[in-house]
């Protein structure tokens, strides 16, 4: 799994668009995400998000894929980032971390986000998307204490002081539960390796100017993003 972040010589551009076989993006989504990334090339810019939180009952970090008002992880199943991070990932991270990635499910996404956050001290950036990405693993939640042509989303409201009680939801069954458990273990093992929690939370989403405004579509640069 760690080979997906190898600095291959075939990668000639600074921008890397990372996708997996289940991702479906329109050209408008890709174009807009790239425009945003060009203004923030040091960050991960993408679509599906996840977040971390401190679980006081368990005394460890929790991990959720449920849609909330905060994010700290952009999955590299649909994201732009700088190719420089391939070199950092492969050549500077301890071999033990890459072995951890190869032994746990979906750990490479978390490690790449942890790496970028440790370097930049900044959160990733979510951009608007036409289609919602479906979750394929159970979701768990718990309590937690620009570029021209973009705008802040007006659809996100301030986070409540506490999310609903922890629960499991989804259709992936036992295999999905194991997958999610491995992601939790991955996150906590990475924190142990780094000695602190590098991930930074954010409530920001970037939308195109005039996104969902009641104006003519002829004035909008990315009108197809608003189609269901």
Q: What is the mean pLDDT of each run of 10 residues along the chain (228 residues)?
A: 89 95 88 95 95 93 86 95 97 92 87 97 90 47 40 37 38 61 91 96 86 71 71
pLDDT of residue 12: 95
Domain spans in the chain, listed from the N-terminal domain onward: 2-223
Superfamily of domain 2-223: Spore Coat Polysaccharide Biosynthesis Protein SpsA; Chain A (3.90.550.10)
Nearest-Å Rg of the Cα atoms of the chain is: 18
Which sign does the torsion angle of CA 224, 65, 202, 121 carry? negative
pLDDT for 154 equals 34
Please report the pLDDT score of residue 212 as a whole number.
Answer: 65
Question: Which pLDDT value is given to residue 203?
Answer: 93
* Residue 49, beta-bridge partner list: 74
Torsion (CA) 187, 63, 105, 102 in degrees, nearest 10 = -10
Residue that has been written with the tokens 């939640």 in this structure: 141
| Unique residue bearing structure tokens 């093992």 | 189
Strands 205-208, 73-74: pairing is: unpaired
Strand (E) or helix (H) holding 176: helix 173-194
Q: Output the pLDDT for position 197.
A: 97
Question: Residue 99 and residue 78: Cα distance in Å, rounded?
Answer: 23
CB atoms within 10 A of CB 136: 14
Per-residue pLDDT at 160: 34
- Write b or e for each residue in 156-189: b if 16 or more Cβ atoms lie within 10 A of its Cβ, otherwise e: eeeeeeebeeeeeebeeeeebeebbbbbbbbbbb
Measured between alpha carbons, how far is 35 from 27 in angstroms, rounded to an integer? Answer: 12
Determine the Cα–Cα distance for residues 190 and 177; give it in Å rounded to an integer. Answer: 20
Q: Where are the beta strands (DSSP E) in the chain?
A: 15-19, 45-46, 49-55, 60-64, 73-74, 78-82, 125-127, 150-152, 205-208
Q: Is the pTM of the predicted complex or chain greater than 0.85?
A: no
Do the bridges between strand 205-208 and strand 125-127 make them parallel or antiparallel, or are there none, so unpaired?
parallel
Task: Work out the number of other CB atoms within 10 angstroms of the CB of residue 209.
Answer: 13
**pLDDT in the model for residue 165:** 37
């Amino acid at each position: 799994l760690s080979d997906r972040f190898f600095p291959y010589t075939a990668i000639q551009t600074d921008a890397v668009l990372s996708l997996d076989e289940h991702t479906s993006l329109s050209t408008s989504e890709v174009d807009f995400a790239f425009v945003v990334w060009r203004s923030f090339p040091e960050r991960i810019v993408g679509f599906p998000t996840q977040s971390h939180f401190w679980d006081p009952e368990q005394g460890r970090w929790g991990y959720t894929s449920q849609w909330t008002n905060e994010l700290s992880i952009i999955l590299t199943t649909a994201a732009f980032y700088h190719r420089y991070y391939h070199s950092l990932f492969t050549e500077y991270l301890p071999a033990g971390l890459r072995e951890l990635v190869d032994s746990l499910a979906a750990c490479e996404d978390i490690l790449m986000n942890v790496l970028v956050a440790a370097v930049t001290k900044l959160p990733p950036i979510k951009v608007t998307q036409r289609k919602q990405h479906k979750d394929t693993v159970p979701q768990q939640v718990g309590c937690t204490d620009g570029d021209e042509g973009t705008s802040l989303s007006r659809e996100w409201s301030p986070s409540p002081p506490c999310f609903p009680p922890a629960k499991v939801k989804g259709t992936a069954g036992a295999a999905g539960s194991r997958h999610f458990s491995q992601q939790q273990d991955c996150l906590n093992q990475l924190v142990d390796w780094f000695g602190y929690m590098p991930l930074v939370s954010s409530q920001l989403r970037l939308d195109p100017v005039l996104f969902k405004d009641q104006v003519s579509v002829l004035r909008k640069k990315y009108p197809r993003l608003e189609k269901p």
